[in-house]
Amino acid sequence: MIINSELEQRGNQFPNDIKEVRQEVDTIYFTTLNEVVLQLTVLRDSVIRFRYGTRGILEDDFSYAIDTDSYTGYNHLELTENKNYHIVTTAKLIIKIEKISLQTKILDKEGHLINEDEIGFHYEESFTLGGNIVKMGKRAHPGETFFGLGDKPVHLNLRGKKFTNWATDSYAFGKDTDPIYKSVPFYIGLKEKKAYGIFFDNSFKTNFDFCQERLDVTSFWAPGGEMNYYFFYGPSMSDVVANYTHLTGKPDLPPLWSLGFQQCKWSYFPESTVKALAQKFRDLRIPCDGIYLDIDYMEGFRCFTWNKEYFPDPKRMIGELEADGFKTIVIIDPGIKIDPDYWVYQEGLENDYFCKRADGPYMVGKVWPGECAFPDFTNPEVRDWWAGLFKDIVGDIGVRGVWNDMNEPAVMEVPGKTFPDDVRHDYDGHPCSHRKAHNVYGTQMARATYEGVKKYVYPKRPLVITRSAYSGAQRYTSSWTGDNVATWEHLWIANNQVQRMCLSGMSFTGTDIGGFAEQPTGELFARWIQLGVFHPFCRVHSSGHHGDQEPWAFGDEITNITRAFIEMRYTFLPYLYTMFYEYSTKGIPMIKPLVYYDQEDPHTNYRTDEFIFGNCILVCPILEPNSKGRRMYLARGTWYNFWDNSVIEGGRELWVDADLDRIPMFVKEGAIIPRYPVQQYVEEKVITELKLDVYFKIGKEASQVYEDGNDGYDYKKGRYSLRNFNLTGKEGELTIQQHKSGTYDTSYDTIKLNLIGLSFEIKSITVDNVEYDLNILENDGKCLKLSKNFAVVNLMG
């Protein structure tokens, strides 16, 4: 007998002629003769979902990434056709679907091509594993550039590179290592200075090729699941990132103390070491808000336990640390030690909460405690149980934050360092293998941790940090970039990773300052601190096996430099908190690569080092040893050198001096930067005066300052203070207008204006149409103090 195996070897399959079109409100279904279905949904005028099924079937529609509370709605939707295309028109886009192939073209309303299929959707049937290998090919145009994709340790511009998203424990990863800890299948394209974005919401091992295999093709694919992607149109990069962040979710505000400096090591123990560490910070007057305990605080690395030899009374110790301004954050890993006398293991076993292999045995793997079982965090019942486990360490003992490590999930001594593919998961009622659940496992652990910490730290706000993450994790957790190395190359990587994470919706991110593995020189540590204080999450973390890495570990010169820059961060706290407010309400990234800041300037497409901190401060770290300065690109516009207030025109590359105690910093003209006094920890002092550094400009500029109770949830009831400032500068005149909203009364009744760069001598001051005596000015002739209720300040020349 001859067996015809042609069907099993047919390879790529493609949609053919459209036979049916059906519309249901905002969703249009296109079905081909060979039973390929395209479900096109208009979420907003500029946000379109493309979802493909084969054999006439669409899978159950479920995603961990999408924020179900995200806003949707459009202004216009029209379906028409001509000889070759079905045409979907919104208020901002024209989508053409080719009748003979389902290939799409997306144009703006003026008819300019934004994005188009090259080969479009195609697939292979996976006879070995089941389902389809789903693929998409997009045409790439000359000069088109690509950004995003989470924590990839590569150049910001992704063109010419290929990547895999598979959360991986990647100890001591290097430049261009792929994959590493996170899976964020979202990228931004910039074509002819117009931005768009694509989010491939598929939790399998997704792959992206940005013109590496073929110079004019960008493609993405996965070995299972659906071809399900969202298209975002700008035309500004800011619109793309904001819409993606709205779709996948924005975080609540964190407690203000979590934006302070944090100190961590593997490991600080016993209690005497922790208390001595805290005392050293206070003795040396180096601000610090958080101290972290790594796995050695546990009894035999068993989660939710305490080593009574090292920490005989953790509640007392944590209370004493809190009295001195330190919050305690502890590590919790997913591996639960297999021990019949261990209560967490007993509960998980009795309730069948642990992951199982395909044939029924529990998934067993070695991590720090030895052989462990692993909760299935994709099961909502398991997440509820896990959240309840935090009652003791958070609710009773007083821990204020939790960091989840090893949650890729990482397993020792096995190929691939993670679960085998046959491990089964609930996936919130959509049972699947680990092939589908792997990339979301860490996020669902962080989600369960967040719910527990939030419940038991109430009425305060929670802090959760995760190493592994999938799109949407920002709703529950902050993150750090994993086990880096104390090298100059890793300082460059750190700078790029945080910029890229901010573009990818995950702004509350930082790196292990100084490097986790190996030990930095004093110079490298100083340069890393100078970068790290501008990252949203600011934490020193290191492996104690390689030596000490506290701010005072490198001699007096480095200690003094470190102190100065940490103090600078604390003075910038109202500016940083306002950045977080914009992120949590509008999806605006806290750190902005130059290409985000000015996509019209072709030079910014290829810059990696410089970034915008918030909206108004340009920072360029020193990334090489023995440097007395560096060449850098100053973005277009007029800038003030932060250190000497000299005025410099941008749009050019220039040399900037920067000895070891300096980092190149520039402030945008017209900016109003809020500053607090130096504190050793958040709320050490009652703020009696808000300082505003006002950088003069001929023209107009808007700024704002957000404040609230620094913790708790009253801000959601309107108890916040949002000051919107409008600055107007003219020859011989400066006007500042303030509009304040919210019911929160700040602790200060004085605002101090520090006027920088005035081009004239002040002759008179008018506040709310009342002229004030010039004696109000302080000795330097450029500062004045006014009531917090001022509405208009005129400084007339």
Euclidean distance between CA atoms 549 and 522, whole angstroms: 9
Which token pair is 565? 């820059």
Phi-psi sector, 393: left (phi>0), alpha (psi -120 to 50), beta: alpha
611 close to 618: Cβ distance less than 8 angstroms? yes
Q: Which of 151, 169, 201, 405 is catalytic?
A: 405
Q: CB atoms < 10 A from the CB of 160, how many?
A: 12
408 as an active site residue: the answer is yes
Euclidean distance between CA atoms 71 and 291, whole angstroms: 38
Q: Which of 98, 201, 408, 693 is catalytic?
A: 408
Q: Who's near 778: CB < 8 A, 6+ residues apart? A: 784, 785
715 close to 708: Cβ distance less than 8 angstroms? yes
Which DSSP string do the residues of 286-326 spell out, in sequence order?
A: ----EEEE-GGGSBTTBTT---TTT-S-HHHHHHHHHHTT-
653 as an active site residue: the answer is no
- Degrees, nearest 5: CA angle 481-484-486: 140
The CB-side HSE value for 348 (13 A sphere, CA atoms) comes to 31
Which token pair is 197? 């974005």
496 close to 154: Cβ distance less than 8 angstroms? yes
DSSP H or E segment with residue 581: helix 573-586
600 as an active site residue: the answer is no
Length of the chain counted residue by residue? 797
Which token pair is 257? 């103390």
- Degrees, nearest 5: CA angle 59-62-67: 150
Euclidean distance between CA atoms 400 and 463, whole angstroms: 7
Omega cis (within 30) before 409: yes
Q: Which of 117, 226, 294, 483 is catalytic?
A: 483
Euclidean distance between CA atoms 422 and 676, whole angstroms: 54
What backbone phi and psi angles, to 5 degrees, belong to 522? -60, -40
Euclidean distance between CA atoms 728 and 220, whole angstroms: 48
Catalytic residues: 405, 408, 483
